[in-house]
Structure 1
């Protein structure tokens, strides 16, 4: 028997209340509990959002505990080094961790099982090779330029580089799970298991007598990442192998690389864009300031998670519709995903502004200085949410090149603004730069989707005629 929110309400609620709730619940049933692709995508997005909400709570508790254990200075070092490793690990995939989200549903839809097996095998081998090269280059660069880096960063960076191959493989396995609509397997290891392990191992290390400093934090993060990635591999690889076990693999390395590199630029620019402010604050200011700014950004994570959850649920559907010869279905679905992104982001943004100050105070003395910055940052995130996951629509539909140009321009704008505004206004400069860049990014993405696909990706307001196709 299929679950229905409306029928459940009829059984559990008084008749007048159930009658009043039925229009909303019928709409909920049509969006979430249908058996078609739309319903599956919405369920995947809701699952992803639930995981990200839980992970936000875990991450918040984890970061509060780490900040209190380490103190502002050591915590600032830790977050700058670890953020850099996450960024470089993601970049070292060279786009393969996202291109497989396009190729797996495309090859399955067209019955090309040889290529399906080939792309899954090649993606893992490729990212392990490239991330190892990135790690080697990082070690050499750190050795050559260590004199130009503050001494308290050198050893933590040496340690962090050890983790790059596992971060890259983890991101690729997440992409494989997303392509198969396995929301829990895609997100739970990275966003639930890894932060819990980091917190538990850090507590155990302090109990064992190790210093609560940045070096200890990086070591426990390395151990947690290796454990998480090996768990992902054991859980995902057997499931993906069953479908193509008896099919000889076909490799189209040149094609995959050609498609993945622009996606690498898109993802790289996006990842840098979402973290450039933290890195730039680390360049111009002291670790204590990095700690305050990072805590503020972490408090904002609840708003960001709406976008990431929707993106996790819809990217593979964009690819399926874009390559299935059904532009009207793609346009209608894309229009829906804008609403899925914007309205929850607006609500979450308002909630963050209400609870932001006491949440920041939990990190320790002085961290609540970041609260006023939340008003600027929330405005930027909500502006970005007004066009939904537009960059996923572009990359999944074969328009990754122009999307890379948009993100390159946005990143350049963000960096330039940070260079000028941080020395003048400190943390306020970083927040303003990020918010302005996100608003410009939203405008450029919306215009690009309309020009390339004829789809209007802008938030549908009640009472306004929102045409899906130009």
Structure 2
């Protein structure tokens, strides 16, 4: 059912590509700072306005944001590990992992489907539905995530006799964090669908991390005990502040592109697109976090902390995949809506190449510098160095097919993609349960790499059968 109300009307909107080109061209008066110079060198800004050049510029922007974020996150994790000790740090990592996992699934997949829904509405000229989605999607995810968060707090209360006492209060704080986390994800998807990459990503990945460092450092300098509770309070405050600021700026930018007029709310249509994508995202997240969660059940907290440090150190490889996924998803949907198969095929090949080869180079650098990077967390974290080599295998294999899961989602093959991820997740759970009790972090890394390899083979075969595309970085 599509409902309408008398609210803003969107003037004739330009295509996604036109908006992106205008947004990507820096004004003559823009100061050329360090960030701009790095982006220009890494992405070739100013070197043309073709789709490939534009994609590299936008992906380069995302990658730099994630690299800066990684530096801040790395610094925050190092400081927290040193200030809190391995046990409290392990509890914090455990609770924060639950926040990341649940918060990324509680938006119904709308943060990802926004990159399909918005381009299709713009291409078909359905302006009332577009306006309804821009506001209604955020209200929907906020209301539902609040209800679910309260239910999760009730579950923690019921299970409190069986929960580690040190983790109870941090878990309650984590529940309070979830609504803001979910709305921020939704706003991220809306911003990226308009090629506003900095607005979509900086609040979550830079501002939030900077706030966590600032709040925890202030508490430490003031002499407060910095345990898992204090770290979760700082993280919750950072999430809410960053989300609120992002909302204010996003509303102002949308106001500049939207005129007053009626809104239409096709909630059923949104969910029909989003829920299959949610299955894909959920199984991927479960696949990503299963190792840490299973490790927590079978091994001591200090071992969880070491393993998490290894994962954080290898995060740069994942950032490259994420950057290309975030840049290309809505363009896959746009080219498919236009029926331009030739352009779509060439764009897919470009995205795969720019995912795999930089990922391979980044992996080599990180493995070479692994020991000193782990030492920054503390001398005891260096024992995780050999785990890095095992974990890196799965990341490199996955990068070899680029962001094809986004391709399948944007072209309407969400269900088969979700099935592939579900099978990989089940494999990961089975392997983790079999290997972690005996081999600890080494077993967790091996289970995840084997599962990622299995997932990659499945996705390659599915795209070959369904779309007739060769989605491997080599062998064409």
TM-score, normalising length: structure 1: 0.90
1:32 Cα shift?
7.5
Which of 394, 408, 413 is equivalent to 2:427? Answer: 413
Does residue 252 (structure 1) correspond to residue 272 (structure 2)? The answer is no
Deviations, residues 12-36 of structure 1 (Å, cap 9, x unaligned)? xxxxxxxxxxxxx9xx86x973223
Q: Distance in 2 between matches of 1:284 and 1:129?
A: 36
**1:283 aligned to 294, 297, 307, which one?**
297
Deviations 1:39-94 (A, max 9, x none): 32221111111111111111111111111010111111111101111111111101
Q: Does 2:65 align with 1:87?
A: no
Residues 52 and 350 in structure 2, CA contact (< 8 A), matched pair in contact too = no
Q: Does residue 1:185 correspond to 2:199, yes or no?
A: yes
Cα separation, 2, equivalents of 1:236 and 1:272: 30
Tell me whether 1:349 sits opposite 2:349 in the alignment.
no
1:203 lines up with 2:224 in the alignment: no
For residues 42 and 318 of structure 1, what CA distance do their matches in structure 2 show? Answer: 15
Match of 1:375 in 2: 389
1:122-137 aligned within 5 A: 122-137=136-151
Give 1:147-186 correspondences, 5 Å limit.
Answer: 147-186=161-200
Task: Measure how far apart 1:290 and its partner are.
Answer: 0.9
| Residues 32 and 325 of structure 1: CA distance in aligned 2, closer, same or farther (over 3 Å) | farther
Matched-pair contact (CA < 8 Å) for 1:113–1:247: no
Where 2:108 maps in the other structure, the secondary structure is coil
- The question of whether the paired residues in 2 share the 8 Å contact of 1:282 and 1:290 is answered with yes
Which residue number in structure 2 is paired with residue 212 of structure 1?
A: 226
- Which of 213, 224, 229 is the aligned partner of 2:238? 224
Q: Deviations over 1:107-166 (max 9, x none)?
A: 112221111111111210111012112201111111111112122111110111100000
1:440 is displaced (CA, Å) by 0.8
Could you list the structure 1 runs, at least 4 aligned residues long, displaced by more than 3 angstroms after superposition: none
SS of 2:159's equivalent?
A: helix
How big is each residue's C-alpha offset from its partner over 1:312-347, in whole Å with a ceiling of 9 and x where there is no partner? Answer: 111111111111101111111101111000000000
How many residues are aligned here? 438
Is there any run of 5+ residues in structure 2 with no aligned partner, and where? 1-21, 26-39
- Higher RCO, 1 or 2 (CA under 8 Å, sep at least 6)? 2
d(CA) in 1 for partners of 2:135, 2:465: 36
Q: Distance in 1 between matches of 2:120 and 2:164?
A: 48
Q: Deviations for 1:200-246, whole angstroms, at most 9, x for unmatched residues?
A: 10011122232110000000101111110001101112212332322
Indicate the residue corresponding to 2:281 in structure 1: 267
After the TM superposition, which residues 350-365 of structure 1 pair with which residues of structure 2 at under 5 Å, given as runs? 350-365=364-379
Distance 1:413 1:284 in 2: 18
TM-score (norm 2): 0.89
Q: Kindly report which structure 2 residues correspond to 1:233-244, keeping only aligned pairs within 5 A, or say none.
A: 233-244=247-258
SS at match of 2:168: helix
